[in-house]
Structure 1
Amino acid sequence: MNNVRLAEGVYYVGAVDWNLRDFHGYTTPRGVTYNSYLIVDEKVCLIDTVKAPFAQELLDRISQIIDPAKIDYIITNHIEPDHSSALPAVMARAPQAKVLLTEHGRTGIIKHYQQNYDFQVVKEGDVLDLGRNKLQFVPVPMLHWPDSMLSYLTGEQILFSNDAFGQHISTTKRFDDENELSELLYEAEKYYANILMPFGKMVVKAADKVKELPIRLIAPSHGIVWRKHIPEIVAKYQDWGRGKAVSKVVIAYDSMWGSTERMARQILDGVAAAGVTGKLYKMSMAERSEVVRDMLEAGGILIGSPTLNNGMLPTMGALMTYMKGLRPSGKIGAAFGAYGWGGGSQNSIEEMLKSAGVAVEQPGLSLKWVPDVEELDKCFAFGHEFAKKVLARL
């Protein structure tokens, strides 16, 4: 098996899931990885495990380097099953191993697997002496679960960052400089937007802690290992965590008989005429997680829907519910759409935008039946005015 050496005595022993296309509602057209790392020092330490179906692959990779029975410590940086569900299989081969994790992690592992292993609860500043290297523990609660933490290997200056700095991408190359950087940053942005966006304040704190450490490698639990472009990805996390926006407007809509779609296209032209980048998504055809990725750095969000049963179309309701959970910060928004005998979608959209933390600073635009030439001009002006408001906030 192709076990990749990250540094002296440090190996990648994880698994690549080339076929997974949905990660609890987040589309993964490039698959995912479940990264696990083995440290062979005076003591042997495993950093996280993998998803349960890949437990045997993990054990086979470890066995090529050392007998799993010689593992002294298993670090559980995060208890979510994509990182921990192979733990019972590993413990069966290394029953003497001590499991190091946060207090929330200990509670969660017991609840998930009904096993009371030899736990050692760690907190901020605790250090594990492995011999030539030491592991320092940095709890980062709610990045993105209460139990989450980072582990830092002092001798080799490796940050095992778990869900921070990750991407969902399958590749046979383990390092950033062996892959196309633009693809990695695209997937890192999508990953952040769909998983970490609600936790911006915690992200900034974690990024600030990371900047204080001398780091040669960032080894996340998904995707590639960063070794060349560490300053770039840390800077991105600081920008994303602070809600930094660019001159971009995302227009997400759906249409019943075409009227809302005609509105959307005219609004897009108005946005573009103001010198702002516009992105147009029809939600009956678009992937929700891709739309949210574009929203991460957008200064403005426009949501359009015709009225159905006094509210918005179900496709738009699903997007708005998703956005409410992610709470994109530092953005303005507005609603638009067509209606027949009675409206209602605009009010529903505006309420949902506000509940998602988006500032509604411009009255919405509703048109009856099919827009005429004059009304299409109003759509253009609506987009143009909105885009100017986005520019004024930058």
Structure 2
Amino acid sequence: MSARIIKENVYSVGAIDWDERHFHGYTYVTKRGVTYNSYLIMDEKITLIDTVRDGFQKEWLGNIKAVTDPSKIEVVIINHIEPDHSGGFPEIVKLCPNAQFYGTEKARAGLLKYYGVQAKNWTSVKSGASVNIGKRTLDFIDAAMLHWPDNMFTYSAYDKILFSNDGFGQHYATDKVFDDEVDYAAFMDELQKYYANILWPFSQVLAAKLAAIAKLNLQIELIAPSHGLVLRKYIPEVMEKYLFWSKNSTVNKIAVVFETMWKSTEAMAKKIVEGIASEGVDAVLFDVTKTDRTDIAAYMLDAKGFIFGSSTHDGEMLPVIAGFLHFLKGSKAKNRKAFAFGSYGWSGEAVQDIQDTVGNIAEFGEPVKVVFASTQEELDKCFQAGKEFAKKIKAT
């Protein structure tokens, strides 16, 4: 990668991580890799917006050097301190000791805790503050809890660019710069996965922030996030999606997620899906032991119906689906319909365990339970349960 111009005198100078397949520890599978976007503005005061993950400083500084001497940077803006964005902070403090740094007060405190270093000239800013760098005045917009307390956006009215950090991001390693330079379906797929796995728990905050930004009447021609592609063509489509997701809106589709021991619960799951299909409602069957939870969460983001199944083992649901549901309950999903199902040998606690774990995100109906392997009559009941559930989904 080299410095890539996104607008006159504005460059993308970040790094591409082609090989990263696990993000946020092992919570997010990044099948298309990751980018760590950083932006350089050439004005009377050369300005850097965000840095890169530790280990990518050489590539990042090389990209900056393709445009200017890094030691000439006079203004550094830290929109967010998570290590994938702030790993280059100690390096830039060392290279530019007299630069003026801007970020929230929480960012200042967090950077000191992370790295044990601090910028000599730091200004803590709040929404409405700004800095003039020559032709441009950069405005700061509070974005707390999108998705950390220190987050903020930076807006350049001169360029009509919103530097949105984690907002509107996607995990998509590519040598392209803009959203319209890659396959649209792949781009939107990564956008939805990112929202589902990073921002879903903060939908209420995001909805309020989108409304507040709308009131500012910002002219936006580009949205430059810190992961993935810069938005220029599909801003209306992306905004429409974000508004839809942030309101916990749904479409008539159902996710059936299960884990099985001896395939009895799996047989139930397949019959339930057949029943759903008989009513013309879309459904996808996910074996949680075989499908990445990143993809399951992305599908569930706008699904109206959730159906969860597990065999009972040692008086509980099975461990892989237990981990997935503990992850899912943090989504704060709303307005979903659900039911639980599963086979068991003795006591059958798994269905109640499921409801107890994620009862906060969905309204659960009557569960379906089977002892050992299902009879044909019991499989017919599973089919009917799926059919009746699909009718409820269509009716609400």
TM bracket, shorter-chain basis: over 0.9
**8 Å contact kept, 2:311–2:342:** yes
Q: Which residue of 1 aligns with 2:43?
A: 41
**Stretch moving more, 65-74 or 320-329:** 320-329
Q: Secondary structure at the match of 1:326?
A: coil
- Misfit runs of 4+, over 4 Å: none
Q: Secondary structure at the match of 1:195?
A: helix
* Count of aligned pairs: 391
Q: Give a deviation string over 1:344-393, Cα, whole Å, max 9, x none.
A: 001100111214x2221x11100111111111110011111111212222
Alignment of 1:234-245 (within 5 A): 234-245=239-250
TM-score, length of structure 1 as denominator length: 0.97
- The aligned runs of 1:105-116 (5 Å cut-off) are 105-116=107-118
Task: Please name the residue that 1:160 is paired with.
Answer: 163
Consecutive unaligned residues in structure 1, runs of 5 or more: none
8 Å contact kept, 1:336–1:366: yes
2:235 is the counterpart of 1:230: yes
- The 8 Å contact of residues 59 and 90 in structure 1, kept in 2 or not, is answered as no
C-alpha contact 2:257 2:307 (8 A) present in aligned 1: yes
Within-5 A mapping of 1:5-24: 5-24=5-24
Paired residue for 2:320? 315
| Letter paired with 2:218 | L
In structure 1, how many angstroms separate the alpha carbons of the residues matched to 2:334 and 2:19?
33
Residue 183 (structure 2) aligns with: 180
Aligned equivalent of 1:385: 388
1:331 corresponds, among 312, 322, 336, to: 336
State the Cα deviation string for residues 2-29 of structure 1 (Å, max 9, x = none). 3111111100000010000000210001
**Residue equivalent to 2:132:** 129
SS of alignment partner, residue 6 of structure 1: strand
Once residues 231 and 305 of structure 2 are traced to their aligned partners in structure 1, the CA distance between those partners, rounded to angstroms, is 31
Amino acid at match of 2:322: G
Residue aligning to 2:84: 82
Q: How far apart in 2 are the matches of 1:188 and 1:370?
A: 41
Q: Which residue of 2 aligns with 1:296?
A: 301
Write the distance in 1 (CA, Å) between the matches of 2:131 and 2:390. Answer: 53
Q: Could you tell me how far apart the structure 2 residues matched to 1:116 and 1:17 are? A: 27
Q: Is the 8 A contact 2:169 2:227 kept in 1?
A: yes
What do residues 260-285 of structure 1 show as CA deviations (whole Å, max 9, x unaligned)?
Answer: 00000000011111121001010111
Residue 205 of structure 1, CA deviation: 2.1
Contact 1:331 1:358 in 2 (8 A): yes
Match of 2:55 in 1: 53
Deviates more, 1:207-216 or 1:36-45: 207-216
SS of aligned partner of 1:244: coil
Which range is displaced more, 85-94 or 305-314?
A: 85-94
Aligned partner letter, 2:4? V
CA shift for structure 1 position 329: 2.3
Pick from 373, 380, 390 the counterpart of residue 376 of structure 2: 373
Residue deviations 1:153-184, cap 9 Å, x none?
11010000000000001111110111111111
Equivalent position of 1:273 in the other structure:
278
List aligned pairs for 1:342-361, cutoff 5 A. 342-355=347-360, 357-360=361-364
Name the CA distance, whole Å, in 2 between partners of 1:130 and 1:388: 59
Q: Deviations over 1:57-90 (max 9, x none)?
A: 1111111111111111111101000000111012
What TM-score do you get using the length of structure 2 for normalisation?
Answer: 0.97
Secondary structure of the 1:222 match is coil
